């Protein structure tokens, strides 16, 4: 088989995005197992998407850790006890307190990893205190408390710093987005000003193109300036062309069709004016449905609108 062609087909990307039907997924996995070059390409694609996903990483709030782990445990034990209820009724009760235990021990809001080493010296402190002079241990206590406080403060500051950083990034993103929107608006404004100028220009002749019997409700207009040869098309309503097809405008000059260019999908949908190819001379305009990219000659059976100047 031509593995290069298979790689180029785009099916591996679809596999990685998870949008392939089950049967095709299995086929990709089968071929990756046989052809090392497909395996290699597939791995690279999957790693790329994984890295993109990982780039969105976001540490959950610290308090979420215990809630999610406890919730998970409850769900899993719940299932286990449901399975056991008939054969071993006491079992379903027994694990419950155990399940509740971790929640109780993890309650301090400070991440447990950070608090553990600090808490231990304090809990072990009272015992030796009875034999040794209290003063030395007093210092130890004070130092422990100071350390605990400092850890707490560090933790808060770190959290706040992280928060500030993500806020800053969010604001930067918003700003970038705003700039993009602004640019798009400027472009749209310039386009519409251009369209308005064409519509107001008295040199332009307005040619109404009416629907043919094939599409009686179709309606469009051509704005033609014989002096500058400029041609614009303005669609009121056109049937949606079939897949792989596109509208093409023709100028009829002494009965001979001259290609005036194809209509963009947005133009055909009536979103705005589109400038077409310059036309030196014409007595009528018409539109036909052609293959995407246009044809050298019109397919007369697909003529949708036509109009004389």
DSSP string, 110-165: S-HHHHHHHHHHHHHSHHHHTTS-HHHHHHHHHHHHHHHHHHHHHHHHHHHHHHHH
CA atoms within 13 A on the CB side of 55: 6
CB neighbour list of residue 97: distance below 8 Å, 6 or more residues apart: none
Q: Distances from the Cα of 167 to the Cαs of 54, 62, 153, 156, 188, in angstroms?
A: 19, 18, 21, 16, 31
* Binding status of residue 164 toward other proteins by CB under 8 A: no
Interface pattern 75-104 for other proteins (x via CB under 8 A) = xx--x-------------------------
- Confirm or reject binding of residue 140 to other proteins (CB under 8 A): no
For other proteins, the binding residues in 18-47 under the rule CB under 8 A are 18-19, 29, 44-47
Interface pick for other proteins out of 2, 22, 56, 293 (rule CB under 8 A): 56
Asked whether position 73 contacts other proteins by CB under 8 A, the answer is yes
The pair of three-digit structure tokens given for residue 72, joined into one six-digit string: 């998970």
Nearer to other proteins by Cβ, of 117 and 138: the residue is 117
Q: What 3-state DSSP class applies to 19?
A: coil
Q: According to the binding rule CB under 8 A, does residue 291 interact with other proteins?
A: no
Query: For residues 162 and 192, which CB has a smaller minimum distance to other proteins in the complex?
Result: 162
Q: Least distance to other proteins from the beta carbon of 17, Å? A: 5
Between CA 282 and CA 299 the distance in angstroms is: 19
Phi, psi of 203 (to 5 degrees): -70, -20
Give least dist CB 177 to other proteins, A: 6
Applying CB under 8 A, which residues contact other proteins? Answer: 10, 13-14, 16-19, 29, 44-61, 64-65, 67-69, 71-73, 75-76, 79, 162, 165-167, 169-170, 173-174, 177, 180, 243, 265-266, 269, 292
């Amino acid at each position: 088989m031509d593995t290069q062609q298979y790689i180029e087909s785009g099916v591996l990307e679809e596999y990685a995005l998870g949008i392939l039907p089950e049967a095709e997924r299995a086929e990709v996995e089968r071929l990756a197992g046989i052809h090392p070059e497909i395996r290699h390409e597939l791995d690279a694609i999957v790693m790329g998407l994984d890295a993109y996903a990982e780039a969105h990483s976001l540490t959950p709030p610290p308090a979420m850790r215990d809630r999610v782990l406890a919730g998970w445990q409850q769900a899993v034990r719940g299932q286990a006890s449901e399975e056991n209820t008939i054969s071993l009724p006491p079992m379903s009760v027994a694990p419950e307190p155990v399940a509740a235990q971790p929640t109780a021990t993890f309650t301090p809001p400070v991440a447990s990893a950070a608090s553990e080493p600090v808490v231990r010296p304090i809990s072990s402190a009272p015992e030796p205190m009875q034999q040794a002079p209290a003063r030395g241990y007093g210092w130890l206590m004070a130092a422990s408390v100071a350390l605990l406080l400092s850890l707490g403060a560090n933790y808060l500051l770190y959290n706040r710093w992280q928060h500030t950083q993500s806020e800053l990034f969010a604001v930067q993103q918003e700003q970038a987005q705003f700039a993009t929107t602004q640019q798009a608006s400027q472009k749209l404004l310039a386009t519409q000003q251009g369209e308005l100028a064409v519509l107001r220009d008295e040199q332009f002749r307005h040619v109404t193109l009416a629907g043919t019997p094939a599409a009686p409700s179709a309606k469009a207009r051509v704005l033609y300036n014989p002096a500058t040869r400029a041609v614009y098309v303005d669609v009121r309503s056109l049937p949606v062309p079939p897949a792989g097809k596109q509208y093409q405008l023709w100028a009829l000059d002494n009965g001979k069709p001259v290609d005036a260019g194809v209509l963009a999908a947005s133009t055909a949908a009536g979103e705005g004016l589109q400038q077409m190819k310059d036309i030196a001379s014409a007595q009528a305009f018409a539109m036909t449905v052609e293959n995407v990219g246009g044809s050298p000659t019109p397919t007369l059976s697909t003529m949708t609108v036509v109009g004389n100047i």
